[in-house]
Amino acid sequence: MHLSARACAVLLSLWSSSVRAADGTVTLATGPAAYQQPLPGLTGGDFETFREGAGVFRAAWLKGPSIDTPRFTGLGPLFNRRSCVACHIGNGRGEPPAETSDQTRSLLIRLSLPGADATGGPRAHPAYGDQIQTDAVIGAKPEGRVSFHWVETGVTLGDGTAVLLRRPEIVLRDLAHGPLPAEIQMSARISPAVFGLGLLEGVSGETLTKMAREKKADEVRGRVNMVWDVGRKQAVPGRFGLKANQPTLRQQIAAALAGDMGITSSFLLGDECPAAAKDCREAGSTPEIADADFEALVRYVAGLAPPPPRPRDAVAAVGAKTFADIGCAACHRETLEAQGTVLAAYTDLLLHDMGGDLADGRPDFLASGREWRTPPLWGIGLVGTVNDTAAFLHDGRARTLTEAILWHDGEAKPARDRFARLSKETRDALLAFLGTL
């Protein structure tokens, strides 16, 4: 089971008070391991479970029995990567392919057909399922190869600064079950960071609904995605995933194990084999991850702390004010309440229309093809430290935070336009502020 309400409240309190402390209570990890730190106060059995879960997160799974790693068998038959950490690099973001010839490594392609399934979610393709899986165990055939073709365009800011933006065109090769239909809905997704999720799970559905009802400037709306909860068998507010399409951390992790690695759990039974995928079916069933390992994995992810913000100098302080003044904080709101504790997460966890340029055309429960969940910004200043290549937005198209901001449209267009009109000095101050998060 996931963290109890009481345990989560204790951890939230410890984290919040430690972030505010200036006496060295928290070790400010600012190197490559910045996203791998436990929440303050994890001791005894809780810390041992956290460490055990770290091993599960990093374990490379195999198809069949192994003398060296007998626990981690049952990979596939279809999969994208062999371990959690292979996609969530350093517990951070994935990276898109650099060239058309490069294979995707920490990015996947979601698929669906028009309409909805029985629970109101995306309707999977009968042969390829809901994502292209680019690898397979012996006896099964990969569904295809995926790469990107980058299309670049230039933008000029108000002070004359030129910025080169790029967007990906998905390239599919060697499709195992024939071409995809013209009406297929495809969405490229890089792996998101996994720290701080246990804290965000403490944000109540009532809080999400209240934020969605608030009147905001610039016609910023925001709404809750109502998604299917497998355990409760009902629609509840979503908060995890790029479109807020998962209601709980437990369900998010179970779905990732099944979809990305072909690892089943007691929570989600059944192989990720579409009905028409004969090779996949003939490869055999996937053993379940042991309940103890699944529990340790959930507790590990729930126990990962977001890096505390770094000190702000006078320039970053100007940037923080600018961030609020131009409208960024309408969606990336500085604080959220979670079980009585205030989190400096810089998100509202709501869906927002981000315009046509960022649209993937793929609905997900109530989320339209133009809507995305506001991603938390805590820890964003360390992306380039944790990852070899900085990549932002859902498909990794943005190489810098400036590029990421300039792709904003829809509800975020007024804030984007104000950013583009800033002087270089003020714009750099805003970016300096983001670097402290």
pLDDT tens-digit profile of 242-251? 999 999 999 9
Q: Quick one: pLDDT at residue 67?
A: 78
Q: What is the pLDDT averaged over residues 332-361?
A: 96
When pLDDT is cut at 50, 70 and 90, the band that residue 280 belongs to is low
Range with the poorest average pLDDT among 15-19, 109-113, 238-242 = 15-19
Checking if the pLDDT of 144 tops 50, the result is yes
Work out the average pLDDT over 216-234.
95
Does residue 287 register a pLDDT over 70? Answer: no
Tens digit of each residue's pLDDT (9 = 90 or more) over 393-404:
999 999 999 999
Give the model's pLDDT for residue 315.
98
Residue 389 has pLDDT above 60, yes or no: yes
Q: What is the pLDDT of residues 423-432, one digit of tens each?
A: 999 999 999 9
Query: Residue 429: what are its φ and ψ, rounded to 5°?
Result: -65, -40
289-332 pLDDT per residue, tens: 999 999 999 999 999 999 999 999 999 999 999 999 999 999 99
For 62-68, the CB contacts below 8 A with 24+ separation are 63/137, 63/138
Averaged over 173-186, what is the pLDDT?
96
pLDDT at residue 6 is higher than 70: no
The pLDDT value given to residue 16: 47
Structure tokens at 369: 């093809």
Q: What is the mean pLDDT of residues 33-38?
A: 95
pLDDT digits (tens, 9 = 90+) for 145-171: 998 999 999 999 999 999 999 999 999
Q: To which residue do tokens 């990107």 refer?
A: 148
In this predicted structure, the answer to whether residue 13 has a pLDDT above a threshold of 80 is: no
Tell me how far apart the alpha carbons of residues 42 and 50 are, in angstroms, rounded to a whole number: 8
Averaged pLDDT of the chain:
90
pTM listed for this prediction: 0.91
pLDDT band at residue 264 under the 50/70/90 scheme: very high
Q: What is the pLDDT of residue 270?
A: 61
Percent of the chain scoring above 90 in pLDDT: 78
Q: How confident is the model at residue 18 (pLDDT cuts 50, 70, 90)?
A: very low
Residue 269 predicted with pLDDT over 80: no
Task: Indicate left, alpha or beta for 276 from its phi (over 0: left) and psi (-120 to 50: alpha).
Answer: alpha
**Residue 97's pLDDT is what?**
87
